[in-house]
Amino acid sequence: MPRVIGLKRLRSLKERITPHGRRHLPLGSGPYTVGCVDVMTDHSVAGLFLRLYYPTNSTDAQWPLWLPNKKYGNGYVYFRRKNTKIFGTILNWVGGDMYVPVLWQAPVLETEEVAEPFPVVLFTHGLGGNRTTYSTLCSDIASNGFIVAAIEHRDGSASMTYCFKQPACNDTFLEEEIGCLEAESKEDDFNIRNKQVQLRVTEIQRLLDFLETVNAGREVRNVLGHHFDLRSLKGRLDMSKVSVVGHSFGASTAIATLASGDQRVKCGVALDGWMLPLDQSVYSEVTAPLLMVNTESFQWKDNVRPMYRFGVNGDDEKMRRLLITIRGTCHQSQSDFQFMVPGRIGRMLEVRHTLEPRVAMDLNNKATLGFLAKHLDIPNCDHHDDILLGENPLVIQGTNLDLNSDD
C-alpha cells in the first residue's frame, strides 16, 4: 500500500481535496474528482501490475505519495547510472513528499450520477518509468471522464517494479525486485528493445483481457489485498472506446500495439516517440488513427524521419495521422519530473525546458484529449483543433527539425 495522507473538513469536490502546505502535482483539468487503486493480478512475474485512475464523487479519502516507496526513488537513480546513496537520497528528498491529487481507493462514480460507461485509456510508460511516473497526465485524462489503466511493465524497462516469491519453507510471500535491463551496444540495443516491445504489446493485450473481465463483473483477485472491490467497475468501462497512449518507449509500445491487429484498440497517441525498437513492418500495419506529440529539444532527424512514414499531416479532413511539436519543451515535459525541480536546477537536470511546466502539460494533455475525443466519438468534449493543427503559437505542425539537410 502506498504512503497516504488523510484529508478532513473538505469543502468542495476540487477545493476540499487540497491539503494545505503539502507539495502536490497539478489537479486535473476536468469536471471529475479522480480516484485510484493499484492492482496486481498474481504474485508471480506472470501477473499484471497497474494503477487504475477513474472518476469518483468521493471526498473522504486519502492522497497517495508519488513515490510508492524509497526503492522507487533509488530505481530512478540506478537507471540514470548515478550514485544510489547520494542521488537516491536527493531524489527521495525532492520527490518523497510529493503527493498525487487523487483519492486512494475511493469508490468509482455510480451509474445513478453518470449512466454512460467511461472510455478507456491504456497507458504505457517509457524506459526507466513506472506506473506513477506520469500521474499528472493520467489523472488529468481521468478527470475528463476516462478510466486510465497505467501498466507497470515487467519486461526489464521499468526503473523499479516487483513481484512476490514464496520460499520453499513457509507460506509467506516476499518481494522480489525486477531491475532494468541494459544494452551494451547500439546493435544490441535494437535486439533487446525490439524483444521488449513485443513483450510489452503482449502485456497490453493481457491488460485488455483483464479489463474485459472486470467490466463483465467477474471476480478478479488483487494480491495486494486492497479493500477496493473491483466488481464495482462492472459495466463502467466502455470497451468499444479503447485507446493506447505512451511516452518514449511507451510510444513505441503504443504504435506496436496498433500494428498488432488487435481490433479492440481504436486509436493511439505517441508522446515523444522512440522509433528504434520498432520493426519496419509497423509502418504499413498501423491502420488506426495515430497522433504523435514531440517535444522541441529531444528529437533528432533519424528518429523523426520514420514518423513521416505514417503519412502524417496530409489532406485527410478526419485528421487520422498527425504530428505536432510543442515549443519550449524537453523529453520530461510529458512526465511528472518537471514539477519536482524548479527553474535553473530543473533545466540543468534536463527535466524541464523554457516553457512553464503547467503550460507544457496543459498543451500536451489537450492535444491528447482532443484527439481521443475526435476518434472515439466522445460527445461534449473539445477537440482542440487549434493545437492539433499547429495554429496555437506554442505548437508546430510537424517538426522543428530540417529533415532535408544531412547534418
Q: What's the pTM?
A: 0.90
pLDDT tens, position by position, 341-394: 877 877 887 888 999 999 999 999 999 999 999 999 999 889 999 999 999 999
Question: Which pLDDT score is estimated for 14?
Answer: 37
- Catalytic residue selected from 38, 140, 155, 272: 272
pLDDT band at residue 11 using 50, 70 and 90 as cut-offs:
very low
Strands 49-56, 395-397: pairing kind: unpaired
Tell me which residue has cell 478526419: 318
pLDDT band at residue 58 using 50, 70 and 90 as cut-offs:
confident
Q: Which amino acid appears at position 247 of this protein?
A: H
H or E element at residue 257: helix 249-259
Tell me which residue has cell 522541441: 296
**Could you tell me which of 32, 30, 72, 68 has the C-alpha nearest to residue 51?**
68
Compute the distance between CA of residue 341 and CA of residue 386 in angstroms, rounded to an integer: 30
Number of domains in the chain: 1
pLDDT above 70: residue 87: no
Is position 391 within any domain?
yes
- Catalytic residue selected from 24, 331, 375, 384: 331
Q: Which residues pair with 295 in a beta bridge?
A: 326
For 56-75, what is the mean pLDDT?
87
CATH number, domain with residue 275: 3.40.50.1820
Strands 147-151, 49-56: pairing kind: antiparallel
Is position 322 within any domain?
yes
Compute the distance between CA of residue 355 and CA of residue 329 in angstroms, rounded to an integer: 6
- The vertex-76 CA angle with 142 and 205, nearest 5°, equals 45
Q: Are 16 and 33 in contact (CB under 8 A)?
A: no
Lowest mean pLDDT, pick from 7-11, 75-79, 303-307, 316-320: 7-11
Q: Which domain holds residue 309?
A: 4-397
Residues with Cβ < 8 Å from 93, sequence gap 6 or more?
Answer: none
Is position 405 within any domain?
no
Q: Which amino acid appears at position 203 of this protein?
A: E
Compute the distance between CA of residue 187 and CA of residue 180 in angstroms, rounded to an integer: 18
The dihedral of CA 323, 291, 337, 191: what is its sign?
negative
pLDDT above 60: residue 162: yes
pLDDT tens, position by position, 109-146: 988 788 899 999 999 999 999 999 999 999 999 999 99
Is position 320 within any domain?
yes
Residues with Cβ < 8 Å from 83, sequence gap 6 or more?
Answer: 77
pLDDT band at residue 183 using 50, 70 and 90 as cut-offs:
low
pLDDT, the chain, mean: 88
Q: What are phi and psi of 309, to 5 degrees?
A: -70, -15
Question: Which pLDDT score is estimated for 342?
Answer: 78
Tell me which residue has cell 481490433: 263
End-to-end CA separation in angstroms for the chain: 50
**Per-residue CA distances from 24 to 105, 254, 293, 352, 373 (Å):** 18, 28, 25, 17, 28
- Catalytic residue selected from 143, 248, 252, 333: 248
**Could you tell me which of 269, 261, 137 has the C-alpha nearest to residue 201?**
261
pLDDT tens, position by position, 298-323: 999 999 999 999 999 877 777 899 99
pLDDT above 80: residue 15: no
Catalytic: 248? Answer: yes
Q: What are phi and psi of 406, to 5 degrees?
A: -95, -10
- The vertex-261 CA angle with 39 and 138, nearest 5°, equals 35
